[in-house]
Amino acid sequence: MLSRRKFLNAATAASLVAVSPATLLAEQRLLPTRPIPASGEALPIIGMGTSAAFRSGDREASWNVMSPFQDHGSRYIDVSGAARFVVADIAREKGRTRDVFLGSYFSAADDVRSRADAARLLETSGKKSLDLMHAYPENAVPNWEVMTRWKADGLTRHIGVARHSSQHYDAMMGLMKTGTVDFLQVNYSLLETQAADRILPMAMDKGVAVTINRPFINGDYFKTVRGRELPAWAADFDCESWAQFSLKYILAHPAVTCVLTETANPKHALDNLGAGFGRMPDERERERMLSLIKSFA
Ligand SMILES: NC(=O)c1ccc[n+]([C@@H]2O[C@H](COP(=O)([O-])OP(=O)(O)OC[C@H]3O[C@@H](n4cnc5c(N)ncnc54)[C@H](OP(=O)(O)O)[C@@H]3O)[C@@H](O)[C@H]2O)c1
């Protein structure tokens, strides 16, 4: 028998073209998912970045921004430093530990400290194994065997490498060649397209799940589109805002598993979640989107 979640996902898929993102959100539909190649696990396509609410440690503000994501089946939360313990603790308190897929940062150059942090995160979250331990390429590349032991020892189900600038792509590609990493996290958007040249095709080729950071260039994208009207043709791919315009461009790339959006504003959270619904732009539409944004920049 189909679980409620599977049923709602199937219903969402069936109604993708006919119903607008706003309607799907109002109906509390669940996000579509894409598989993590290494584990086959299904990951909803919109995730959260490290919200300022998490960093402030304000539990109420954190839950206010987490709960719209939870309501729509979002799972991935990318979180570093002390904020990860805040998120893990809130998820446990709300009985949502199993619904949260935590992507957290560790130093492969400091195995002892990373194992201690992982143990604390396991204890705080109540998880038996972490979902994803990732590291920056500068310490992951020379220490990738340390990371493979984290996974072999059952500390985590997935390992990955994460960075936000094209200057790190060569190192990250070298790491992907070893066949070690399950996840790659890179920057990619209408204003930062370099990842599409080589690293995203390679991730697809190697069966590495891809999460995308900086979908709004940490907010600068909104300066570029400020005062501009969303083109009427954006409605052809069920796009209702400039935020969704960026997220749908990213999600339409075939290598992308999940895009990470950072916000401390629950209204923005709903806007961003809307991008997961409806049709995604095709190649011709994506080129048109790119030319439009280039003409503003
Ligand atoms: N591994 C790495 O090296 C790395 C590096 C950078 C980022 N990351 C990860 O990627 C995540 C996202 O990247 P990012 O930090 O560059 O942030 P981003 O998601 O590109 O942009 C966040 C900014 O956009 C605003 N915003 C979000 N949704 C909006 C909407 N619908 N309408 C208007 N404004 C909106 C936010 O303001 P409000 O709060 O007011 O909504 C915030 O100022 C980070 O949180 C982090 O987890 C990882």
Q: What is the CATH number of the domain that holds 93?
A: 3.20.20.100
Give the separation between CA 203 and CA 184, rounded to whole angstroms: 7
Residue 15 domain-assigned? no
Rg of the chain on CA atoms, in Å: 18
- DSSP state at residue 154: T
Token code pair at residue 5: 């979640």
Task: Please give the residue that has the higher pLDDT: either 116 or 9.
Answer: 116
* 115 domain residue, yes or no: yes
The whole-model pTM stands at 0.93
The reply to whether 130 falls in a domain is: yes
Classify residue 5: in a domain, yes or no: no
Burial of 28 (0-12, 13-18, 19+ CB in 10 A): exposed
Task: Verify whether ligand 1 is closer than 6 Å to residue 185 (CB atom).
Answer: yes
Instruction: Write out the E strands in 190-270.
Output: 209-213, 258-261
Within-domain flag for 1: no
Is residue 4 scored above 60 in pLDDT? Answer: no
The predicted model gives 185-190 an average pLDDT of: 98
The answer to the question of residue 3 being in a domain is: no
Nearest-CA residue for atom 37 of ligand 1 = 263
Residue 203 has pLDDT above 70, yes or no: yes
Whole-angstrom Cα distance, residue 26 to residue 99?
Answer: 21
- Tell whether 77 is covered by a domain: yes
- The tens digit of pLDDT for each residue in 136-173 reads 999 999 999 999 999 999 999 999 999 999 999 999 99
pLDDT at 285 over 80: yes
CB of residue 162 inside a 6 A radius of ligand 1:
yes
Contacts of 277 (CB under 8 A, 6+ apart): 12, 16, 19, 20, 21, 24, 25, 29, 31, 32, 238
Q: Are 207 and 37 in contact (CB under 8 A)?
A: yes
- Report how many domains make up the chain: 1
Q: Is 55 in the pocket of ligand 1 (CB under 6 A)?
A: no
Residue 238, in any domain of the structure? yes
Quote the pLDDT of residue 19: 56
Domain limits at 72? 20-296
